[in-house]
Structure 1
Amino acid sequence: MDCNKLTEDGTPELGMEFNSEEDAYKFYNKYAFKMGFSVRKDYPNKDKDGVTAFRRYSCYKEGVKRKYEGDVMPKRTRAPTKIGCGAKMVIMLFRGTMKYRVHDLVLEHNHELHIAQCAHMMPSQRKVSKAQGFQAEISEDVGLSLKQSHELMEKEAGGMENVGYTREDLKRYLRTRRERSLKYGEAETMCGKRPSTILTDQDHAMAAALSVVMPETFHGLCTFHIRRNFMKYLGNHYKKNSDLPYMFGACMYGFEEMEQFNRVWEAMVKKHNLENNEWLSELYRIRDKWARCMMKERWTAGMRSTQLSESLNTAIKNHLKLDHDLVQFFRHFNRVVDEKRHNELIAEYEMRQKLPMVRLRQTPMLVHASETYSPTVFVAFKNEYGESTVMVILRQQDAAMIVEFAIMSYDGGSEKIVVFNRNDLSVRCSCKKYENEGILCGHALKVFDTVGIKIIPPEYIKRRWTKRARAGDCFDRRRREVVADPKIMISTRYRELAPAMIKVATRAAMSEDTSKKAKSNLCKIKKI
């Protein structure tokens, strides 16, 4: 039907036609708002194709309350609202025109109707719109209470009667959103990917769970927790001048070769009479999860402890309350993540604002690294390059396309073997620094310099360490592009439009002519 006609002739009549059942409901609900009653949608009668063929819209007070049939009466019962009102509008689909026509109509009510000042409280007139819902979610995300969020909406809408919903409606809306988030898994952990390495404490239950849930992920132990347990289980062996903690620390961090590790470990156990210590024996059994010599081929990005996770936990605790449910927890978790991402943006700005310090300006390798890596990683790479300048090649063995170099630091240290492939220009060092941290070691850089490679080969540049690590599209596990949160933009537009619309309504209400023109234009806007 024509929107202007509905505005002028607001009373339903038999034979009226509508393009859809939604149009019919909106018309009848608008009539109900004017008259002072609420509308209830009855179940639709659909055909075999799923198209609604028949539907009834009734007064909210239609029917009667069923009598309680239980043995024990409940302590609290709801006050009855149904009193058998027969007011209704029934629509039927006509196949010839594929439009809905008013087939049955009853306008009389058997109860007192609501006054105009209470019309906005009727159930069929209350609805949390998408824009309002997004704004309520954002308010909850930043820690505003339900009451504060609703009061904010009231101020923006110009009064409680203009909001369009009650505080209880908002409460139900947010609860429903949380339930759906839990049911459908709105937050997909790590987009379905599995981490290469996970560091935890020595919790046996967590170790068992990881072996089942992520069998392909390497499970390492946090060195911080190991040292703390060291003081707990071996504190009675610790003396003022004891070398026990130093020997233990050397086994954990110092040795790159297994022979050195075993030799010092056996000496430490024997010297301090720790052969029967159960905790130390169990720790040695799982040494592949914490000893440097055993973990050098595992990807850890240079991390050996869960200190970053512990600091994140501390930050999260500042935003949590005991009564938060799981979805609220993740909302506040996202607040902490947003703070971390803001810190990343600060680092991004500093990276583009300040040029890296390259002392050897004529060195192509360092210049290339300064243009490629982030500032922090560039410093680490520059240190490795500096180490390469004091490396000496002890011997070189050629075997067709494979060249093996024995390299050692000029001032001493252990000998490392670097294998270079002339065919694909690949390099492999026995120190395994690249495999563990993703940065070429000084030994490999020495070989590259020797064979005339003056820039970092692309296959040895990990994207995560580059300046463009944050660039590009992001996809979830279903290969859908992850874009910026649309709630922010919708809420922003809502806050911009709401005050302007209130001002228009205020001025239009001053006279009958301007009011009609405003209604006519609003009907046109709704069709956009």
Structure 2
Amino acid sequence: MNGKEPGAVFTDQAAAIAAGIRTALPHTYHGLCTFHITMNAKSNGLWWSPFLEELSFLMYDLETEDEFDYYWKKMLENCFNEEEEEGKKLTSKIEAWLQNLHKVRSKWSSAWLKDHFACGMRSSQLSESCNSHLRKYLQSKLTLWEFFIQFNNLLEAKRHKELRSDYEALNTIPYLVFTNSEVLQQFVTKYTQNIFGNMQDEYSKSIKYHIRPNNSKDIDGMFAYELHKLDQQRNPIDKRIVMVDFVERKLICSCKMFEKCGWLCRHVLRAIDHLGYGGHLEILNIHTRYILKRWTYDAKSGDFTLPAVQDTAERVYCSRVKQLTGSMNLLATRTCMDDDIYKMLEEEMQALKIRAESMMPAMKFGQPSTSTGMKHYL
């Protein structure tokens, strides 16, 4: 990863894994997989729906440590009491498991995740999904030759799925529910469908908030606004603060969703609507800093960083192949539906091929280049 550590890693709870991550990735946030926590809860006797709903709320919907402490106590009060039916009581086994879970709360509750960029991921399902795909194509009884054939089939299937997704993304526009929203109109043509869906979901929840100025919070020229849910205006735990710089069009929310996920939260969207339609029209024009390239249709375009000079010739070769292949695939996906553009590109590619081959020295298969040291395989 070019010397960079990931912002966050999610695994099942294991002392050996935790120790390894602390040693190898000292600056990476180590979180616990929420899927495994739920499965472990069920295996320890916590299988009933009310508890699982409370646990999910603690994992995903909290933004401050005070909120966690408050709702953890509420969860114990709501899910465990003497009047509960048999099988839903706080047994010694369940109590021990809950105490252990509470000790590592900073590894699984969203209240502690807001300072770490994790793209919205909270589980290790990505690796498990990959393992599931491998099991569909590979079997232990395969010969080495059959293994490589099946592995190649797997790669082809995944590439086809990715190309299909690219095509659909480039030729369809997400459905805009709130057609009058100037904010969402700026994102609908830029963000991919999944990410825009997240944004639209946040916007739908923003209308449930009441906003008012908080003059005691003005800091460094930024104006503070306090938000509460309409049905919880007297609950101090539910309060959110949005800081606004009208000159720089800077927006910072205390929930830090943008910092941890990469898209704007419901509180910022509510503040933008309130201020924009209240006379501050400049705030309706979203600054490009809040449109991350990784979530847009152009995520695959742009410059690719080649390996450092000390890298091997083979790695340089692979990096160049990856760069050119990605650019060519993206170009083909975008343009090949048009007959004229397709014919033009085909002619240009043939001319480019002839020109490139004329520049290549006469080398035998496997012979290294005198200029780069890389072997010739064409």
TM-score, normalized by length of structure 2? 0.67
- CA distance 1:260–1:527, change in 2 (3 Å): closer
Determine which of 294, 301, 322 is the counterpart of 1:471: 301
- Matches for 1:338-487 after TM superposition, within 5 Å: 339-361=157-179, 363-397=181-215, 398=218, 401-412=221-232, 414-449=238-273, 450=275, 451-452=280-281, 453-478=283-308, 482-484=319-321
Deviation of 1:324 after TM superposition, in Å, equals 8.7
SS of match in other structure, 1:342: helix
Deviation of 1:217 after TM superposition, in Å, equals 1.1
RMSD between aligned residues: 3.6
Deviation of 1:466 after TM superposition, in Å, equals 0.6
Equivalent position amino acid for 1:256 in 2: E
- CA distance 1:456–1:425, change in 2 (3 Å): closer
Would you say how many aligned residue pairs link Structure 1 and Structure 2?
298
SS of match in other structure, 2:264: coil
SS of match in other structure, 2:214: strand
Determine which of 215, 218, 221 is the counterpart of 2:29: 218
Deviation of 1:338 after TM superposition, in Å, equals 5.0
Take 1:472 and 1:314, find their aligned partners in 2: how far apart are those partners?
A: 32
Determine which of 102, 106, 124 is the counterpart of 1:284: 102
- CA distance 1:317–1:473, change in 2 (3 Å): farther
**Who is 2:113 aligned against?**
295
SS of match in other structure, 1:387: helix
Take 1:443 and 1:332, find their aligned partners in 2: how far apart are those partners?
A: 48
- CA distance 1:485–1:389, change in 2 (3 Å): closer
Deviation of 1:406 after TM superposition, in Å, equals 0.4
Structure in which a larger fraction of residues adopt strand? 1
- How far does the alpha carbon of each residue in 1:468-517 deviate from its partner, in whole angstroms, 9 at most, with x for none? 0011233354275823369x9xxxxxxxxxxxxxxxxxxxxxxxxxxxxx
Take 2:151 and 2:8, find their aligned partners in 1: how far apart are those partners?
A: 22
SS of match in other structure, 1:393: strand
SS of match in other structure, 1:198: strand
- How far does the alpha carbon of each residue in 1:373-401 deviate from its partner, in whole angstroms, 9 at most, with x for none? 11221122123233334533233325561
Identity %: 31
Take 2:52 and 2:362, find their aligned partners in 1: how far apart are those partners?
A: 75
**Who is 1:183 aligned against?**
none
Equivalent position amino acid for 1:288 in 2: S
- CA distance 1:307–1:362, change in 2 (3 Å): same
TM-score, normalized by length of structure 1? 0.50
Name stretches of at least 5 consecutive residues in structure 1 with no aligned partner: 1-189, 489-524
- CA distance 1:393–1:244, change in 2 (3 Å): closer
- CA distance 1:370–1:324, change in 2 (3 Å): same
- How far does the alpha carbon of each residue in 1:221-252 deviate from its partner, in whole angstroms, 9 at most, with x for none? 1111111111223x1x65x6x84434333322
- CA distance 1:394–1:313, change in 2 (3 Å): same
- Matches for 1:107-506 after TM superposition, within 5 Å: 190-233=1-44, 235=45, 243-266=50-73, 268=75, 271=80, 272-273=89-90, 277-322=95-140, 336=154, 339-361=157-179, 363-397=181-215, 398=218, 401-412=221-232, 414-449=238-273, 450=275, 451-452=280-281, 453-478=283-308, 482-484=319-321
- CA distance 1:208–1:406, change in 2 (3 Å): same
* Residue range with higher mean Cα deviation, 283-292 or 476-485: 476-485
Name stretches of at least 5 consecutive residues in structure 2 with no aligned partner: 81-88, 310-315, 326-360, 365-378
